[in-house]
């Protein structure tokens, strides 16, 4: 590609060295041994040191509670530099053919695939989830980039014949500089989910990770650089609410895509509205999982575990309201409690671990508080819901808890109405299909839903009636990149993944061509 040909061999070797530096330490790394000192910002094709070290915030390793690195929030001047860098890259990238963009994106996907184990290890150290899960997250990331590389060359408009030989056509054009604001639960994957469709359409993106997980987005930036994107096409700025505010207000930002809480999403929407910017919001959820008596019980139990305990329960689309038809409630509870008690909690870098540490001490305390509140309101703890201290001494300060199953729940309980964002499953009985659909939809959220049944008519009937962006039938929490993901109601709007997301990172221009004379009414 033309800009790759113009890169000097010196510049390319430097970027190769950068992208490898942190990752090269990963094979020998173990929980409690890593300390990161490299700058975490990235624009103009390189890591950028903070202008000043004040306001630095410690970033903790969840499994040990020790400080992993320092995160220094970007101020107005740094945000300005990053956006200017992104805009300059956009002017180059947007002029390239879709197939040219695709080749660079495919190279980025290849590099990620090649380094998946190293990236996953770094992700686990920063995020706390098990290495088994982060390996899947990294695979989904390169698959996302590969998928949108495949779509980049297909972007096209429409030709419309008009009377008298005149015609019109449409052009699908990029938006410009897009901002992505990520969450702590899937740091690398969310950066890929937001950057891949944006870049496929010809945009540049400035990405702000969660201040609790700032480490791996900059690795993705280095990989894009190594693959051959123009310097500045994928920038990383670190920070919290103040930095996010600067990004949302910036006049050169065309779109903001946010993943996070409803409260913050409302603020992002409000700030973006002042500049009439396009917005995609992927917000919280309190999703229902409906288990009918005619289900395959073994699969339903496995589905309930997948719906509640991935990433220590810190997943926005988790099916945390588990409605079980009364006739099979005893069998379901017996089996789900047995399986939950058997979940291996501990060092997230060990292959045998199935649940790691929650993201922070405040989050752990918040989740334990929800369990205590549930007990006060009459729920019965069947297992878990307590702080967990692994036997390994280096994990004593980690943010672990035992996964929890709550019985005797009612729809008006706090644990059933509010998003807990931790490993807590609330189980509720139901009698009829009509009743449970009404109860399932009685929420301000609408991100996901699920149903387990052998009755094919019921499955599709329930799916139609669920007021949610996704309905899983006889499974839960699978997110193939080919299908759209997003919410109804207060869970947000816009979509990520699937072909439709191209529409959220592009705009249509209509061109009308007159082949004859102008009709004159005057």
Do 486 and 471 contact (CB within 8 A), yes or no?
no
Torsion of CA 262, 316, 186, 68, to 10 degrees: 70
Rounded CA gap, 218 and 197, in Å?
Answer: 18
The 8-class DSSP code of residue 395 comes to G
Q: Can you say whether residue 162 is alpha, beta or left, with left for phi > 0 and alpha for psi between -120 and 50 degrees?
A: beta
The 8-class DSSP code of residue 386 comes to S
Task: Assign 130 to helix, strand or coil.
Answer: coil
Rounded CA gap, 275 and 265, in Å?
Answer: 16
Q: Tell me the CA distances in angstroms from 115 to 111, 146, 173, 372, 476, one per residue in order.
A: 6, 15, 33, 42, 28
Q: Tell me the CA distances in angstroms from 159 to 97, 242, 330, 471, 493, one per residue in order.
A: 19, 45, 61, 36, 30
Helix segments in 115-176, DSSP class H: 116-127, 131-152
Give the distance from CA 492 to its chain's centroid: 13
Structure tokens belonging to residue 163: 């009377």
> Is 282 considered catalytic here?
yes
Strands of the sheet with 234-236, listed across from one edge: 46-48, 41-43, 234-236, 204-208, 177-181, 253-259, 278-282, 492-493
Give the distance from CA 474 to its chain's centroid: 23
| Catalytic hit among 282, 335, 433, 496 | 282
Structure tokens belonging to residue 326: 């009364």
Strands of the sheet with 448-452, listed across from one edge: 380-383, 404-407, 424-430, 321-325, 288-291, 448-452, 470-473
Sole residue written with tokens 């929407």: 269
Torsion of CA 63, 64, 70, 75, to 10 degrees: 40
Do 40 and 180 contact (CB within 8 A), yes or no?
no
Strands of the sheet with 159-161, listed across from one edge: 159-161, 167-174, 506-513
| Residues annotated as part of the active site | 282
């Amino acid at each position: 590609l033309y800009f790759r040909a113009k890169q000097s061999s010196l510049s390319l070797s430097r970027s190769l060295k950068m992208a490898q530096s942190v990752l090269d330490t990963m094979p020998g790394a173990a929980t409690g041994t890593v300390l990161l000192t490299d700058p975490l910002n990235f624009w103009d094709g390189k890591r950028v040191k903070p202008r000043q070290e004040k306001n630095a915030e410690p970033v903790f390793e969840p499994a040990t509670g020790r400080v992993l690195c320092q995160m220094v929030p970007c101020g107005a001047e740094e945000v300005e530099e990053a956006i200017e860098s992104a805009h300059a890259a956009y002017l180059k990238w947007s002029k390239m053919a879709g197939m040219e963009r695709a080749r660079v994106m495919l190279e980025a996907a290849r590099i990620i695939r090649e380094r998946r184990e190293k990236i996953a290890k770094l992700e686990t150290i920063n995020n706390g989830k098990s290495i088994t899960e982060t390996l899947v997250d990294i695979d989904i990331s390169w698959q996302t980039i590969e998928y949108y590389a495949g779509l980049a060359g297909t972007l096209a408009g429409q030709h419309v014949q008009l009377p008298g030989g005149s015609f019109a056509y449409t052009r699908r054009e990029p938006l410009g500089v897009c901002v992505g604001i990520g969450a702590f639960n899937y740091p690398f994957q969310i950066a890929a989910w937001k950057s891949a469709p944006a870049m496929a359409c010809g945009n540049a993106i400035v990405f702000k990770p969660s201040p609790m997980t700032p480490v791996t987005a900059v690795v993705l930036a280095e990989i894009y650089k190594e693959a051959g994107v123009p310097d500045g096409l994928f920038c990383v700025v670190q920070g919290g609410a103040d930095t996010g505010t600067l990004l949302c207000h910036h006049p050169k930002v065309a779109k903001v895509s946010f993943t996070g809480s409803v409260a913050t999403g409302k603020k992002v929407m409000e700030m973006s509205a002042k500049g009439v910017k396009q917005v995609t919001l992927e917000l919280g959820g309190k999703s229902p999982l409906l288990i009918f008596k005619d289900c395959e019980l073994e699969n339903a139990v496995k589905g309930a575990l997948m719906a509640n305990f991935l990433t220590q329960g810190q997943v926005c689309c988790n099916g945390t309201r588990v409605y079980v038809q009364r006739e099979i409630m005893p069998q379901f509870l017996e089996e789900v409690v047995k399986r939950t008690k058997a979940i291996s909690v501990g060092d997230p870098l060990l292959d045998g671990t199935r649940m790691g540490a929650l993201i922070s001490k405040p989050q752990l305390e918040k989740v334990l508080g929800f369990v205590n509140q549930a007990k006060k309101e009459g729920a019965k703890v069947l297992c878990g819901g307590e702080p967990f201290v692994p036997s390994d001494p280096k994990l004593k300060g980690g943010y672990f808890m035992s996964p929890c199953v709550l019985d005797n729940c009612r729809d008006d309980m706090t644990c059933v109405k509010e998003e807990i964002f931790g490993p807590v499953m609330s189980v509720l009985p139901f009698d009829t299909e009509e009743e449970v659909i009404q109860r399932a939809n009685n929420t301000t959220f609408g991100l996901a839903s699920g149903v387990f049944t052998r009755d094919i008519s019921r499955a599709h009937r329930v799916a139609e009636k669920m007021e949610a962006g996704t309905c899983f039938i006889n499974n839960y929490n699978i997110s193939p990149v080919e299908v759209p993901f997003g919410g109804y109601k207060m869970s947000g709007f816009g979509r990520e993944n699937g072909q439709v997301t191209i529409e959220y990172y592009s705009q249509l221009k209509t061109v009308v061509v007159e082949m004859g004379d102008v009709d004159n009414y005057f």
